[in-house]
Chains A and B, each alone.
Chain A
């Protein structure tokens, strides 16, 4: 296949931290780079570090009124602006103005959105579209550079489960989700891994902008499948915890019959799906209120064609 997709140079790149104000690696890295951007500087690229939710960062909380990383819906972005809107909706509109408008040619080329999770997800890259060959090539590059450490790719393309993220304002949105780390805590190892992944990502952009052609490749991804809630009683109270056998086993196979939950009085509840799935976001603190104990994924291999700059 000699087809090469051409993309414009990625000249405008943003790095978002503090989309959730208590996810400390991104907050710390972005604040560091706002003070001294030497580390993220790349020839021919404008790399802009940016704190997306400063009020939440100040209070060290996930959000003030509503989750910023769910706020970039068409409805919110096109709503008439006003002080009566929830803080995060106002913020989404501002961010859309600076880095977007979402879907337009003026939008930023790439946005990296830095997140932490209490789940044992390692360094996960989040991909929103299976057809974004630029992103696929970047993720392929990062995975190779990080090896033998792994960098799982979570594909959130799903008619119901996909959500409107802050990074979705850009042409090429990339989520970085690193865990496990408690909310409000900064762990050195987690901080340094996120820093290394970003370094490789920016290296890729620099090479691409210099004219390097990236040959066709394949990327193994985990496509999001189903949201699994905690078992609850008739009053909506949680009656079981993620089972010790499942806890911390993100990206490992969960087979029908495997333990899934443990009730507070010790009974095991088992997975009763039709086939093997790969759970992730297992026991993420922020998802208790979103009725999610974990999400199941299915393995898929995506093909990316060759790419080079226009």
Chain B
């Protein structure tokens, strides 16, 4: 009896949403994250322009950064998609990536408006041992949550998780916010500037499952509701310890945290191993989960890793809206 009641409570009202007729796959948003660069080029070589009834657009988002195999030329493109930056006036001093963000907004957006593409899927790599992570800014976008559930069910070669960066749409700075629905696929570990076959194949599987879901959705499949787990919400960042006089970093991430993204970090657990041999421990009160552990690009912000809370999300049944 209790089990039935629980199921009834968990069963949300079915939702119907418009078909996804325009889908965009973006690679090279960071010019040295190679899986996405090569995957987009391969999709373009194969002239893949449709996924069932949906049209497919493939974009190399930051061609100048790709050309020099660097994350960015002037500033991080994937921080340029807030409403404020997208609407800022362009002058001689405007960084390349701001101009490019505005171009992409014209191509894939306008962000927040009816003319925007239906789904943006942005491809990224990380030096952190994060397996396959889907990242988005809402856990109430049922399209995204159902895609996550399919990817998690179908892919068994690596752990699959969802990361939520909870922000109001206007403040969302990432490219995936250009579409009516959007998310990033983040695969690691891979050094920047390198393409590993296993990581490429994993990203390709995730993209294939996404496009498969889109086709099924558009052709009328009913997706049942239920629970998705392994959902992680960003709580805070942890910074490298520095020498107060020289400002040099004085420790490396402790071997017990390194490569252990999404494991548990308890109060008192080691976090950093100082070059002098001492251990710096986690002194928070809440048990949290580290992720983006030792991501190369975050050194310039002095971030060693982020911490997240783990949760489960209930999703409703979903079907395409019939006209």
Nearest CB of A to B270, in Å: 10
List, in ascending order, chain A residues with CB within 8 A of B46's CB: 265
Interface core residue of A35, A186, A262 (most chain B CB under 10 Å): A186
Question: Contacts A191-B252, A285-B191 given: A247-B197 contact, CB under 8 Å?
Answer: yes
Write the A44-77 contact mask toward B (1 if CB under 8 angstroms, else 0).
Answer: 0000000000000000100000000000000000
Residue in B195, B254, B258, B299 whose CB lies within 8 Å of A184: B299
Determine the distance from Cα of A191 to Cα of B275 in the docked complex, in whole angstroms: 9
A188 touches B299 (CB 8 A): no
List, in ascending order, chain A residues with CB within 8 A of B254's CB: 188
List, in ascending order, chain B residues with CB within 8 A of A280's CB: none
Interface core residue of A28, A31, A32, A185 (most chain B CB under 10 Å): A185
B196 touches A241 (CB 8 A): yes
A241 touches B191 (CB 8 A): no
A243 beta carbon closer than 8 Å to chain B: yes
B42 touches A265 (CB 8 A): yes
A244 beta carbon closer than 8 Å to chain B: yes
A183 touches B255 (CB 8 A): no
A81 beta carbon closer than 8 Å to chain B: no
Residue in A182, A187, A241, A264 whose CB lies within 8 Å of B192: A182
B296 touches A32 (CB 8 A): no
Question: Contacts A60-B299, A183-B296 given: A188-B194 contact, CB under 8 Å?
Answer: no
A264 touches B191 (CB 8 A): no
B197 touches A185 (CB 8 A): no
B194 touches A243 (CB 8 A): no
A183 touches B252 (CB 8 A): no
Q: How many residues of A contact B (CB 8 A)?
A: 31
A7 beta carbon closer than 8 Å to chain B: no
A262 touches B248 (CB 8 A): no
Determine the distance from Cα of A265 to Cα of B46 in the docked complex, in whole angstroms: 9
- The B-contacting residues of A in range 214-240, CB under 8 angstroms, are 237-238
List, in ascending order, chain A residues with CB within 8 A of B73's CB: none
B191 touches A183 (CB 8 A): yes
Write the B90-131 contact mask toward A (1 if CB under 8 angstroms, else 0).
Answer: 000000000000000000000000000000000000010000
A185 touches B294 (CB 8 A): yes
A241 touches B195 (CB 8 A): yes
Residue in A189, A238, A286 whose CB lies within 8 Å of B258: A189
B253 beta carbon closer than 8 Å to chain A: yes
Nearest CB of B to A289, in Å: 8
Query: In chain B, what residue has the closest Cβ to A36?
Result: B276
Determine the distance from Cα of A237 to Cα of B34 in the docked complex, in whole angstroms: 13
Residue in A28, A183, A187, A247 whose CB lies within 8 Å of B294: A187
Query: In chain B, what residue has the closest Cβ to A188?
Result: B252
Interface core residue of B196, B248, B254, B273 (most chain A CB under 10 Å): B196
B213 beta carbon closer than 8 Å to chain A: no
Nearest CB of B to A228, in Å: 15
Query: In chain A, what residue has the closest Cβ to B70?
Result: A61
List, in ascending order, chain A residues with CB within 8 A of B38's CB: 238, 241, 264
Determine the distance from Cα of A191 to Cα of B195 in the docked complex, in whole angstroms: 24
List, in ascending order, chain B residues with CB within 8 A of A182's CB: 127, 189-192, 194, 296
Question: Contacts A32-B275, A60-B299 given: A188-B255 contact, CB under 8 Å?
Answer: yes
List, in ascending order, chain A residues with CB within 8 A of B246's CB: 35
Question: Contacts A32-B275, A183-B296 given: A264-B196 contact, CB under 8 Å?
Answer: no
B198 beta carbon closer than 8 Å to chain A: yes
Question: Contacts A182-B296, A264-B200 given: A288-B127 contact, CB under 8 Å?
Answer: no
Determine the distance from Cα of A123 to Cα of B279 in the docked complex, in whole angstroms: 25
Nearest CB of A to B25, in Å: 14
Determine the distance from Cα of A31 to Cα of B296 in the docked complex, in whole angstroms: 19
Question: Contacts A183-B296, A264-B42 given: A241-B197 contact, CB under 8 Å?
Answer: yes
Determine the distance from Cα of A189 to Cα of B249 in the docked complex, in whole angstroms: 16
A187 touches B197 (CB 8 A): no
A118 touches B197 (CB 8 A): no
Determine the distance from Cα of A264 to Cα of B197 in the docked complex, in whole angstroms: 8
A285 touches B193 (CB 8 A): yes
B253 touches A183 (CB 8 A): no
Residue in A31, A183, A184, A244 whose CB lies within 8 Å of B197: A244
A185 touches B296 (CB 8 A): yes
Residue in B193, B195, B258, B299 whose CB lies within 8 Å of A187: B258
Question: Contacts A262-B197, A265-B46 given: A187-B252 contact, CB under 8 Å?
Answer: yes
**Contacts beyond the supplied A182-B192, A183-B296: 20 A-B pairs with Cβ under 8 Å:** A35-B246, A60-B299, A182-B189, A182-B191, A182-B296, A183-B193, A185-B296, A185-B299, A187-B253, A188-B254, A188-B255, A191-B252, A238-B195, A241-B197, A242-B196, A283-B196, A285-B191, A285-B192, A286-B193, A288-B194
30 A-B pairs, CB-CB below 8 angstroms? A28-B275, A32-B275, A118-B191, A182-B190, A182-B191, A183-B191, A183-B296, A184-B192, A184-B299, A185-B294, A185-B299, A186-B249, A187-B252, A187-B253, A187-B294, A189-B255, A189-B258, A191-B252, A238-B38, A241-B196, A241-B200, A242-B196, A247-B197, A247-B198, A264-B42, A265-B42, A283-B194, A283-B196, A285-B193, A288-B69
10 A-B pairs with least C-beta separation: A182-B191, A188-B252, A285-B193, A264-B42, A118-B191, A184-B296, A182-B127, A241-B197, A285-B194, A244-B197
Using a CB–CB cutoff of 8 Å, the interface residues on chain A facing chain B are 28, 31-32, 35, 60, 118, 180-189, 191, 237-238, 241-244, 247, 262, 264-265, 283, 285-286, 288
